[in-house]
Amino acid sequence: MPCAYFVSDIHIQSPECPRARLFEQFLRNLSGQPKITHLFLLGDIFDLWVADHHYFIDRYRVIIDEIRRLESAGVDICYFEGNHDLHLQQFWADQLGLTVHKGPTYVQLGNWTLRVEHGDQMDPDDRGYLFLRWFLRTPPIRWLICNLPGALIARIGERASTGSREYTTHTKSITADRAIAKIRDHAWRAFTDRPFDIILSGHVHIRDDFRIDKNGHSFRTVNLGSWLDAPCYFKIDGNEGRFHELAKT
C-alpha cells in the first residue's frame, strides 16, 4: 500500500528561517514513519536553489542530510523543479539519487493515477513567465547559471526570487478567485489531454481540494498552498488522501 507525502512552496530563505526548521523537523518525523513509501517535493522548496553550486549545498546541509537519510531508507523521492529551484538534475538526481522532474509527470500510486507538477505552466496567459521559463533553460543560459560562481548566482537570484515571490503574493491577494479558476481550468485541460484520478500542483499559493464532475468525468484537483501562509502537507495513505496541518514555530 502506498503512503505518500506531498509538500510544495515552502520557500526556505535561509538555514535559520523558521520554515527551514519546520521542514527539517518534518523530514525527521518522516524518517520515523514505518509506512512511508514516497515523498513528492513539488517545487519552490527553497526560495532559491540553482544547479549544484556549493553555495547552496553548504547552506542547506542539514536538510540535505535528512533527505539523504530518507532516500537511503528506501523512500522514493521525487523533486519537481519550481520557478525558484531549477537545474536540479546534477545535484539532486545524479549525486543524491532523487528523481528530478522538469514538468508534469504521471504516477501510478496504488489504485490511483496521479498527475503531479509544480504548476508554473498552468496559466497559458502568463506569456512573460513562460518565456522566462524557456529562456532560463536554453543551453547557453543554463551553462552560465551552472558555471558562474555560486555566490554571484545567489546575489542575482535572491533579487529575482524576492520579485517573483512578491509577484505571486500580489497576484494572489487581488485575484484569489481567479487563481482558483485557473487551477481548475488547468485541471480540466490536463484531464482532457490525458486522464487521471487526482492532479496535484503548487505554485499559486492557494490551498485547494476540489472534485470536478464534468461531462460524465470525475476527478480531484489539489493545490498544496504555501508554507508562507499555513504549513501543511498532503498525504495519500492507501485509499485516503487529505491535508494535514503543521504547527508554525
Q: Does residue 104 interact with Mn ion by CB under 5 A?
A: no
The residue assigned the cell 523512500 is 75
Q: Does residue 44 interact with Mn ion by CB under 5 A?
A: yes
Q: By C-beta, is 52 or 85 nearer to Mn ion?
A: 85
Cell of 69: 537519510
Q: Contact region for Mn ion (CB under 5 A) — 40-48, 121-129, 132-140, 178-186?
A: 40-48
Pairing of strands 49-50, 85-86: parallel
Q: Which string of DSSP letters, residue by residue, matches 95-143?
A: IT--EEESS-EEEEETTEEEEE--STT--TT-HHHHHHHHHHTSHHHHH
Q: By C-beta, is 36 or 183 nearer to Mn ion?
A: 183
Q: Contact region for Mn ion (CB under 5 A) — 20-28, 36-44, 138-146, 212-220?
A: 36-44
Beta carbons of 109 and 2 less than 8 angstroms apart: yes
The rounded distance, in Å, linking the Cα atoms of 31 and 71 is 10
Closest contact distance (angstroms) between CB of 44 and Mn ion is 4
Closest contact distance (angstroms) between CB of 73 and Mn ion is 28
The rounded distance, in Å, linking the Cα atoms of 186 and 179 is 10
How many chain residues interact with Mn ion (CB under 5 A)? 4
CB atoms within 10 A of CB 98: 23
Closest contact distance (angstroms) between CB of 202 and Mn ion is 6
Q: Does residue 157 interact with Mn ion by CB under 5 A?
A: no
CB atoms within 10 A of CB 20: 19
The DSSP code for 17 is: S
- Name the packing angle between helices 139-147 and 127-136 (round to 10°): 60
Q: Which residues pair with 100 in a beta bridge?
A: 79
The residue assigned the cell 484537483 is 221
User: Which residues fall within 8 angstroms of residue 48, CB to CB, at 6 or more apart?
Assistant: 13, 56, 84, 85, 154, 157, 158, 161
Q: Contact region for Mn ion (CB under 5 A) — 17-25, 79-87, 146-154, 206-214?
A: 79-87
One of 8, 13, 83, 201 touching Mn ion (CB under 5 A): 83
Helix (H, G, I), strand (E, B) or coil at 10: coil
Q: By C-beta, is 82 or 104 nearer to Mn ion?
A: 82
Q: Contact region for Mn ion (CB under 5 A) — 13-21, 37-45, 73-81, 124-132?
A: 37-45
One of 82, 150, 225, 231 touching Mn ion (CB under 5 A): 82
> Per-residue x/- marks for Mn ion, 193-232, CB under 5 A?
----------x-----------------------------
Binding site for Mn ion (CB under 5 A): 44, 82-83, 203
